[in-house]
Amino acid sequence: MVELDRADIALLRAMQKNNRLTSEELAGVVHLSPTACQRRLRRLRSEGVIEGDVSIVSPKAVGRHVTMIVMVSLERERADIVDRFKAAIRNTREVMMGFYVTGDADFMLVVTARDMEDYEQFTRRFFYENHDIKGFKTMVVMDRLKASFAIPIEA
Amino acid sequence: MVELDRADIALLRAMQKNNRLTSEELAGVVHLSPTACQRRLRRLRSEGVIEGDVSIVSPKAVGRHVTMIVMVSLERERADIVDRFKAAIRNTREVMMGFYVTGDADFMLVVTARDMEDYEQFTRRFFYENHDIKGFKTMVVMDRLKASFAIPIEA
DNA sequence: AGTGAAATTTATCTAAC
DNA sequence: GTTAGATAAATTTCACT
C-alpha cells in the first residue's frame, strides 16, 4: 500500500468526482500549486492508485434500457470451472460487472440489455448453453442509486 | 433517446476505456478531425449521453481491502420507507453502489471496508440500527472481474 | 524529498470556410 | 465537416527550502 498524504487524498476525492478539472482548479481544492498537483497525479497513476480515467456513459442513452442483477451458481466450485466462467464474463460485453463471491451464490453479475426480450436471448446464450451452471436468479433493477466507483478515501 | 452515428459510438467506446486521450488521438480512432471530435464530445456531454468523467481509484491502494455484496430486504415496501433507504444509501460513503431491485431482495449494495472488523461496524451502524430493515445477506467478494462501467454500445 | 515560477511544448477553443 | 490561428493548459526546467 502506497503512502498517501492529505493532498493526495484531496486529489483522489476530487478526481473521483470529475477528472476533467484543470490543474489550476485542482490547486484551488488541495491548496498546492498546479505543478504540484500534476506531479502528484502522475505519481498516483504510475503507482496504480489511479487505475484508470474513463467517461461514464448513460446506459439508457445508448439504448440499454434494462439492467439486471444476476446471482449465478456453478455446478461445482472447481478451479477450472470457475476460471472458465471468469473468462466467459470477461468476454461478454453485456456483463458490465462481475464479482466472484462466497455465500449463497458463486457469482454476482450486473447485466445490461436493450429490453427484456434481449435479456431473454442473453440468458439462453450465456446460461442455458453453459453446462457448468447449476442455476441463476435474476433481479430487475428498478433504480440505480449509486453506480459510481467512488471509494471512501480517508486520511 | 439521442441519435448516435458510427463516429459517436466510436468516441463513446474509446472514452469509456480512457477519457484522457487528446482530440488528436481520438481523431485517429474515429477518422474525423480533432475539432469534430471535440464538438461531438461537447454535444454528448450536454445531452447527457456522457454522464460524467472520473478517475477510477484502486480500493486496495487506499486501504479498502474488502468488498461485499449485500442483499437487503425492507420490512415493508412502502414508498416512504424505500425513499428513506435510498437516501441512506446516497449519504453513506461505504456504499459504492446501490440498486433498487425486484425479486428476492429489495436492494443490492456493493460495500467496501478496510477489513472485516470495519465491515462489522458498518453493518451495526447501517443495518441493525435501522428499523426499516427486515434482513440482509452478505457475500464476500473474492474477485472483482469486471468493475467497469463499460456499456456495450452498438451501431 | 517535494515545492513553485517561468519558459516551452502541447492541446484545446474559436473562428472562417 | 475541415483547416488555421488564438487561447489555454500541461510539461519541463530550474532554483529554492
Nearest by CB: B51 against A58, A89, A151: A58
- Confidence at residue A65, expressed as pLDDT on a 0 to 100 scale: 97
Residue of chain B with shortest Cα separation from A8: B62
> Is residue A64 domain-shared with residue A133, that is, in the same domain?
yes
Nearest to A52 among B56, B94, B146 (CB): B56
Average pLDDT, chain A: 95
B54 belongs to a structural domain: no
Q: How many domains does chain A have?
A: 2
Instruction: Compute the average pLDDT of residues A48-53.
Output: 96
State the average pLDDT for chain B.
95
Nearest residue to A112 via CA among A73, A145, A66, A72: A66
The reply to whether A11 and A70 lie within a common domain is no
Domain for residue B120, yes or no?
A: yes
The integer distance in angstroms from the CA atom of B65 to the C1' atom of C11 is 38
Predicted local distance difference test score (pLDDT) of residue B110:
97
* pLDDT, mean of residues B72-97: 96
**How much is the average pLDDT of B110-131?**
97
Q: Do B12 and A153 touch (CB under 8 A)?
A: no
Across A65-75, average pLDDT: 97
Contacts of A132 (CB under 8 A, 6+ apart): A74, A75, A76, A81, A84, A85
For B107, residues 6+ apart whose C-beta sits below 8 A from its C-beta are B71, B72, B74, B85, B89, B98, B99, B100, B101
Is A149 contained in some domain?
no
Alpha-carbon gap: A138 to the closest alpha carbon of chain B (Å): 7
B67 in the same domain as B132: yes
Identify which of B1, B50, B141 has the shortest CB distance to residue A56. Answer: B50
- Grid cell at residue A38: 500534476
Q: What is the pLDDT of residue B89?
A: 97
- CATH number, position A69: 3.30.70.920
Q: Are A40 and A97 part of one and the same domain?
A: no
Amino acid letter, residue B117: E
- B145/C12 CA-to-C1' distance in Å: 36
pLDDT grade, residue A154 (50/70/90)?
Answer: confident
Q: DSSP states of A98-114 as a string?
A: EEEESSS-SEEEEEEES
Mean pLDDT of A103-116: 97
pLDDT band per the 50, 70, 90 thresholds, residue B153:
very high
> Per residue in B40-81, pLDDT tens?
999 999 999 999 999 999 999 999 999 999 999 999 999 999
A141-147: average pLDDT: 93
CB contact under 8 A, B103 and A60: no
CA to C1' distance (Å), from A22 to D9: 7
pLDDT at A155 over 80: no
Read off the DSSP letter of residue A2. Answer: -
On the question of pLDDT at A33 being above 70, the answer is yes
> Between the CA of A24 and the C1' of D5, what is the distance in angstroms?
25
Domain membership of residue A27 as a residue range: 6-46
Candidates A15, A17, A22, A54: best to mutate against B (most CBs of B within 10 A) is A54
Q: How far is CA B4 from CA A115, B16, B32, in A?
A: 18, 15, 15
| A120 occurs within a structural domain | yes
Are residues A78 and A130 located together in one domain of the fold? yes
Asked if the Cβ–Cβ distance from A51 to B54 is below 8 Å, we say no
Q: Pick from B83, B79, B75, B19: which is nearest to B51 by CA?
A: B19
- My answer on whether B67 and B24 are in the same domain is no
C-alpha closest to that of A116 among A69, A81, A66? A66
Same-domain check for residues A65 and A111: yes
Regarding whether B67 and B126 lie in a shared domain, the answer is yes
- For A6-16, the pLDDT digits (tens) are 999 999 999 99
Residue A1 has pLDDT above 70, yes or no: no
Size of interface A-B (CB pairs under 8 A): 238
Q: Judge contact between B26 and B75, C-beta under 8 A.
A: no
Whether residues B64 and B136 fall in one domain: yes
Burial of B103 (0-12, 13-18, 19+ CB in 10 A): middle
- Model confidence pLDDT, tens digit, residues A79-108: 999 999 999 999 999 999 999 999 999 999
Q: Are residues B97 and B42 part of one domain?
A: no
Q: Does residue B24 sit within a domain?
A: yes
What pLDDT sits at residue A3? 85
- Judge whether B111 and A152 are in contact, CB under 8 Å: no
Residues A114 and A66 in one domain: yes
3-state SS assignment for residue A153: coil
Q: Both B70 and B41 in a single domain?
A: no
Domain-embedded: residue A119: yes
Taking only Cα atoms into account, the Rg of chain A, rounded to an integer number of angstroms, comes to 20
Residue A155 covered by a domain = no
In a domain, B75, yes or no: yes
Tell me, what's the pLDDT at A56?
Answer: 95
CATH code: domain of residue A42 = 1.10.10.10
Q: Where are the beta strands (DSSP E) in chain B?
A: 50-57, 66-74, 95-101, 107-113, 133-147
**What is the per-residue pLDDT for A118?**
97
Cβ pair A150:B93 closer than 8 A:
yes
